[in-house]
Amino acid sequence: MRTVTYTELKNRFTSAIGVDTLLSVEETAFKNSLNDRVKGAWTRAQWPELMSVVEKTVAAVTSPIVADKAVQIDNDANLMDVFSVFDKNPLSERTAFKLDYNLINGYLVLPANSSQDSVFVMGNQVTPSSYGDATVDGSETTTLPRFLERYLLLATISDWYKSDGQLEKAIQQEQMAEETLALEIDRVERLEGMNKISVNTYPSYSFGVNILTTV
């Protein structure tokens, strides 16, 4: 994935608001705004750049739900949202089948009569906990997805104007930011139409009542 560094984006922001450098409190505000905006944009579309396929083991669970075939996905380190579930890796196996599933209380639940011992889950990656230059906090992520660069720049400038009481300019920048993000979403939709993965689908089966039982 093509990326832009936090420092590059911060420098563009600094130039756009007409200052040479940011004060400590200003950089903190920029960083908070940036991280909030990234988290908001992350789930606005099924971004190809943020997508991954992860193999998960299927097992029976008894709490907080009762299910014969399930995978815990809440707080997963590799997946945020689930888009599709397959019996094999759809990126490498032509015979991969798309499986029926339900999302219940943090678990991906397969039909009770499923024979799967493992599944391949397609979804988006987990958002990094914080973006920054890592000079203070070494755990900060220093690069951001480049396809979000212009949106993030415009959105953080909007937040800056809003905090400074310049509401008319803030609204203008927000509109430009949303237009930019809409163009990126349109790009994704066009790519999906051109590059759909061809998969087979198992016939639908009824989910057992016991799967939906909560304790």
pLDDT of residue 204: 47
Q: Please name which of 137, 128, 129, 133 lies closest in space to residue 22, comparing C-alpha atoms.
A: 133
Paired tokens of 42: 């992350």
Based on the fold, state whether residues 73 and 90 are members of the same structural domain.
yes
User: What is the pLDDT at residue 215?
Assistant: 37
Q: What angle do CA 108, 99, 85 make, to 5 degrees?
A: 55
pLDDT reported for residue 66: 95
Q: How confident is the model at residue 187 (pLDDT cuts 50, 70, 90)?
A: very high
Tell me: do 175 and 79 sit in the same domain.
no
How far are the Cα atoms of 1, 12, 63, 133 from residue 68, in angstroms, in the given order?
Answer: 38, 53, 12, 46
57 in the same domain as 156? no
Quote the Cα angle for 65-66-69, to 5°: 110
Segment 79-104, tens digit of pLDDT: 999 999 999 999 999 999 999 999 99
- pLDDT at site 209: 36
The structural domain count of the chain equals: 2
- Evaluate whether 160 touches 30 at the Cβ level (below 8 Å): yes
pTM listed for this prediction? 0.84
The domain in which residue 85 lies consists of: 50-126+197-212
Q: Answer yes or no: do 66 and 120 share one domain.
A: yes
Whole-angstrom Cα Rg for the chain: 21
CA-based torsion, 98, 101, 105, 107: positive or negative: negative
Same domain for 201 and 190: no
Give the distance, in angstroms, between the CA of residue 172 and the centroid of all CA atoms in the same chain.
26
In the structure, what pLDDT confidence band is assigned to residue 212 with cuts at 50, 70 and 90? very low
The Cα–Cα gap between 109 and 90 comes to 19
